[in-house]
């Protein structure tokens, strides 16, 4: 009979106590696997007595069901209490439940309990239900009891499922949002104001600024002492990369915070550090970053940190700065990467930054805008190098530039106009010689100059009957007795010169090629004769070879002559003329071959050959001619003057 005095309890059987003692002593696991239920009425009585659990029991009084456990766990309030649970589905039953027992993996009854009678109907009876049977029993230690069930053969209660879902949700890194986040160290008690928000009962708070960082985390505000939030109150629920959003606050509303403490975390012992990840942590494949900013790495940093625009400009992709200096200046590391102008009334001195504070490969540029100049020198202990070696200093002229690069303890002149005078290309045989007749703005090598001006570029022999060519231009051309041909003027630049020298015995005739013209006095020639020892220089002008030199004198107006009778002009302006008049016994007129520009200074006659007498002549000069007067004669061998005889006057005149 069940009444108000009936007692219900669970105990370990003697077998159960022995097995626990054995597990505790040997440290081996003890596995409880099944639960049995019975009606404790083996005789089928209408009102059976209430069963009393006994440690001597090895089986239930009248067991009608034995199945695997649905849940086996320690009581969260009392770890010495084991909770065993089984679910009986709606399609099993039709019997009373008055007793329960637990069986281990060996099939031994290790715990037994009685309970208030409860009828478990069948579904077919019209009142089917799923029934939970739970048994709590005390053990000396739960440490060696293996709390393990087989999830494939058990049913779960809604309470179990809900608890399990919450347990797994609480382990997620992304947590339920908090109302506010702290901005300073606080006391974890009472309903206070945080970041301008007055807390109410149950508000979630992100605590992140505690002096003792182990107390940081997600807490729930109450009137007395706070407790950690249910989803962040165990080691499994608080792990690195935990994320939480803040709903309100004067400064931290709508921000997002991440736990950046790495490694295993023991809640309440490990210092917890949270970082604001609201901005600047976009994924690598983010389609666009809207005005992102970042810390500027150190000036000479060479790690994998991201470079912002300030860092890039400072490193010389663009000049990081521009300064104007009017006095002697000792530059520092802050000037590196910039361009620095110097201008003053006197010679200024710029001292380069000490290399000890500057990264390898860093550059600096200097400009001189003063007509006086700028002297550049290294700092004490450093060296200044150009491409030809170490120099004490270099001096820039007006508008000169110089770029230096730091290499070890030296500043090396790398570029700018100042570097040109130290370059090997300006020192040795490194220039390309331009084409022979180039007249552009290209640099001229000594080879080009020798070939074009001053010294002759070489010597060549011109054999008789051969043609000279463009390769002979600028050379001394040796010729002897014979003849040769000038090169065609086509393909030869104006101003080109051929130098001929007759070093042989006998004259050499130079003839033109094609329709070219040889000219020594403005008159066209087809050929010119160069006598023994004579020289001839021919300058190409258009389709003409203009001659000069001793071989050209005979064609010069200053040495013009007409032979065998005629005239000879001399460079002094003196003109010699000669000729013979017609036969007369009185007077006869004659014209000078060329008119004397100024006057005929003197004229005379001479014996005209084998006549027995010599005529006596007087002259009257007028303009470009004269009149010879036959005034008598002298017999040869006699001084007596006789009458004029018919004769011609052989005359010779000198004038200028």
Write down the pLDDT at residue 152.
Answer: 46
- Please indicate, yes or no, whether residues 123 and 244 belong to a single structural domain of this protein: no
pLDDT at 135 over 50: yes
Structural domain includes residue 298: no
Give Cβ neighbours of residue 471 (< 8 Å, ≥ 6 apart). none
- Please indicate, yes or no, whether residues 51 and 126 belong to a single structural domain of this protein: yes
- Return the percent helix, strand and coil in the chain, to nearest 5: 10, 35, 50
Q: How many CB atoms lie within 10 A of CB 463?
A: 10
Instruction: Check the CA dihedral 63-65-67-70 and report its sign.
Output: negative
- Please indicate, yes or no, whether residues 26 and 148 belong to a single structural domain of this protein: yes
Q: What is the mean pLDDT of residues 155-168?
A: 61
Structural domain includes residue 1: no
- Please indicate, yes or no, whether residues 20 and 121 belong to a single structural domain of this protein: yes
By the 8 A CB rule, do 367 and 418 touch? no
> For residue range 358-373, what is the model confidence (pLDDT) as tens digits?
999 999 999 999 878 9
pLDDT at 48 over 60: yes
Confidence of residue 613 (pLDDT cuts 50, 70, 90): confident
- Please indicate, yes or no, whether residues 185 and 139 belong to a single structural domain of this protein: no
User: Of 267, 275, 20, 23, which is closest to residue 138 (Cα–Cα)?
Assistant: 20
pLDDT at 250 over 90: yes
Write down the pLDDT at residue 94.
Answer: 92
Domain holding 365, by residue range, is 312-426
Give the domain-ending residue among 279, 294, 320.
279
Least confident of 40-49, 124-133, 405-414: 124-133
Write down the pLDDT at residue 416.
Answer: 93
Structural domain includes residue 294: no
More confident residue, 34 or 611: 34
Structural domain includes residue 224: yes
- Please indicate, yes or no, whether residues 240 and 342 belong to a single structural domain of this protein: no
Q: The domain that contains 588 carries what CATH number?
A: 2.60.40.3940
The DSSP-derived string for 402-415 is EEEEEETTEEEEEE
By the 8 A CB rule, do 113 and 52 touch? no
Write down the pLDDT at residue 51.
Answer: 93
pLDDT at 427 over 80: no
pLDDT at 147 over 50: no
> For residue range 461-503, what is the model confidence (pLDDT) as tens digits?
999 999 999 999 989 999 999 999 999 999 899 999 999 999 9
Structural domain includes residue 440: no
Cα 117 off chain centre by: 87
- Please indicate, yes or no, whether residues 516 and 453 belong to a single structural domain of this protein: yes
Q: How many CB atoms lie within 10 A of CB 562?
A: 14
Structural domain includes residue 303: no
Q: What is the 3-state secondary structure (H, E, C) of 327-384?
A: CCEECCHHHCCCEEEECCCCCEEEECCCHHHCCCCCEEEEEECCCCCEEEECCCCCEE
pLDDT at 153 over 50: no
> For residue range 192-229, what is the model confidence (pLDDT) as tens digits?
999 999 999 999 999 999 999 999 999 999 999 999 99
pLDDT at 87 over 80: yes
Number of domains present in the structure of the chain: 5
- Please indicate, yes or no, whether residues 20 and 129 belong to a single structural domain of this protein: yes
pLDDT at 154 over 70: no
Q: What is the mean pLDDT of residues 499-517?
A: 95
**Beta bridge mates, 587:** 629
Q: What is the mean pLDDT of residues 377-395?
A: 93
Write down the pLDDT at residue 351.
Answer: 97
pLDDT at 275 over 90: yes
Three-class SS state of 398: coil
Q: Share the mean pLDDT of the chain.
A: 88
Structural domain includes residue 33: yes
Tokens of 571: 């460079």
Question: At which residue do the structure tokens 């290790």 appear?
Answer: 110
Confidence of residue 576 (pLDDT cuts 50, 70, 90): very high
- Please indicate, yes or no, whether residues 149 and 15 belong to a single structural domain of this protein: yes
- Please indicate, yes or no, whether residues 351 and 390 belong to a single structural domain of this protein: yes
Three-class SS state of 520: coil
- Please indicate, yes or no, whether residues 29 and 145 belong to a single structural domain of this protein: yes
pLDDT at 128 over 90: no
Confidence of residue 654 (pLDDT cuts 50, 70, 90): very high
Instruction: Check the CA dihedral 646-650-654-656 and report its sign.
Output: positive
Tokens of 331: 């530059």
Structural domain includes residue 432: no
> For residue range 312-326, what is the model confidence (pLDDT) as tens digits?
777 656 788 899 999
Supply the pTM of this predicted model: 0.34
> For residue range 281-293, what is the model confidence (pLDDT) as tens digits?
555 555 566 677 7
- Please indicate, yes or no, whether residues 37 and 151 belong to a single structural domain of this protein: yes
User: Of 96, 137, 136, 101, which is closest to residue 118 (Cα–Cα)?
Assistant: 96
Write down the pLDDT at residue 606.
Answer: 82
Least confident of 52-66, 286-300, 454-468: 286-300
Q: The domain that contains 471 carries what CATH number?
A: 2.60.120
Q: What is the mean pLDDT of residues 115-127?
A: 88
Confidence of residue 102 (pLDDT cuts 50, 70, 90): very high
pLDDT above 70 covers a percentage of the chain that reads: 90
Alpha-carbon Rg of the chain, whole angstroms?
65
**Beta bridge mates, 580:** 650
Residue 329 burial (CB < 10 Å; 0-12/13-18/19+)? middle
Write down the pLDDT at residue 608.
Answer: 63
Confidence of residue 148 (pLDDT cuts 50, 70, 90): very low
Confidence of residue 432 (pLDDT cuts 50, 70, 90): confident
């Amino acid at each position: 009979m069940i009444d108000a005095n009936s007692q219900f309890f669970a105990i370990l059987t003697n077998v159960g106590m022995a097995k626990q003692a054995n597990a505790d002593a040997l440290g081996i696991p003890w596995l409880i696997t099944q639960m049995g239920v019975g009606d404790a009425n083996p005789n089928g009585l209408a009102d059976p007595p209430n069963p009393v659990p006994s440690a001597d029991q090895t089986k239930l009084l009248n067991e009608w069901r034995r199945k695997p456990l649905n849940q086996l766990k320690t009581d969260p309030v009392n770890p010495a209490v084991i909770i065993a649970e089984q679910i009986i589905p709606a399609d099993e039953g039709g019997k009373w439940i008055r007793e329960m027992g637990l069986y281990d993996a060996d099939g031994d009854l290790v715990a037994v309990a009685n309970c208030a009678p409860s009828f478990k109907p069948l579904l077919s009876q019209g009142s089917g239900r799923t029934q939970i049977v739970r048994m709590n029993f005390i053990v000396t230690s739960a440490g060696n009891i293996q709390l393990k069930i087989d999830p494939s053969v058990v049913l779960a209660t809604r309470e179990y499922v809900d608890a399990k879902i919450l347990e797994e949700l609480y382990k997620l890194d992304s947590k339920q949002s908090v109302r506010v986040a702290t901005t300073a160290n606080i006391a974890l008690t009472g309903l206070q104001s945080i970041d301008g928000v007055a807390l109410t009962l149950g508000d979630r708070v992100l605590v992140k600024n505690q002096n003792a960082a182990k107390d940081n985390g997600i807490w729930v505000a109450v009137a007395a002492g706070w407790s950690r939030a249910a989803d962040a109150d165990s080691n499994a629920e608080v792990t690195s990369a935990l994320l939480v959003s803040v709903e309100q606050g004067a400064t931290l509303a709508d921000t997002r915070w991440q736990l950046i403490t790495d490694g295993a975390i023991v809640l309440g012992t490990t210092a917890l550090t949270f970082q604001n990840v609201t901005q600047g942590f976009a994924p690598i494949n983010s389609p666009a970053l809207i005005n992102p900013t970042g810390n500027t790495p150190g000036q000479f940093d060479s790690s994998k940190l991201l470079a912002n625009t300030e860092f890039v400009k400072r490193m010389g992709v663009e000049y990081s700065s521009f300064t104007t200096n009017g006095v002697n200046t000792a530059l520092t590391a802050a000037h590196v990467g910039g361009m620095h102008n110097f201008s003053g009334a006197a010679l200024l001195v710029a001292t380069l930054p000490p290399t000890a504070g500057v990264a390898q490969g860093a550059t600096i540029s200097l400009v001189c805008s003063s007509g006086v100049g700028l002297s550049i020198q290294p700092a004490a202990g450093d060296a200044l190098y150009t491409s030809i070696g170490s120099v004490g200093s270099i001096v820039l002229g007006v508008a000169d530039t110089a770029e230096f690069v730091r290499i070890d303890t030296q500043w090396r002149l790398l570029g700018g106009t100042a570097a040109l005078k130290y370059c090997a290309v300006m020192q040795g045989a490194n220039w390309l010689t331009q084409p022979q007749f180039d007249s552009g703005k290209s640099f001229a090598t000594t080879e080009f100059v020798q070939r074009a001006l001053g010294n002759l570029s070489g010597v060549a022999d011109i054999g008789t009957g051969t043609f000279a060519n463009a390769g002979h231009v600028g050379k001394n051309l040796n010729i002897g007795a014979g003849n040769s041909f000038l090169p065609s003027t086509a393909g030869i630049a104006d101003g080109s010169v051929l130098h001929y020298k007759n070093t042989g015995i006998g004259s050499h005739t130079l003839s033109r090629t094609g329709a070219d013209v040889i000219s020594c006095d403005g008159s066209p020639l087809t050929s010119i004769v160069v006598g023994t020892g004579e020289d001839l220089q021919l300058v190409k002008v258009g389709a003409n070879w203009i001659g000069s030199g001793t071989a050209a004198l005979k064609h010069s107006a200053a040495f013009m002559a007409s032979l065998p009778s005629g005239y000879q002009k001399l460079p002094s302006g003196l003109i010699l003329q000669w000729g013979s008049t017609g036969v007369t016994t009185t007077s006869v007129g004659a014209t000078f071959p060329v008119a004397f520009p100024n006057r005929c200074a003197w004229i005379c006659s001479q014996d005209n050959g084998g006549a027995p007498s010599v005529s006596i002549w007087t002259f009257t000069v007028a303009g470009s001619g004269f009149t010879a007067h036959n005034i008598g004669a002298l017999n040869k061998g006699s001084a007596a003057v006789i009458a004029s005889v018919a004769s011609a006057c052989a005359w010779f005149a000198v004038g200028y």
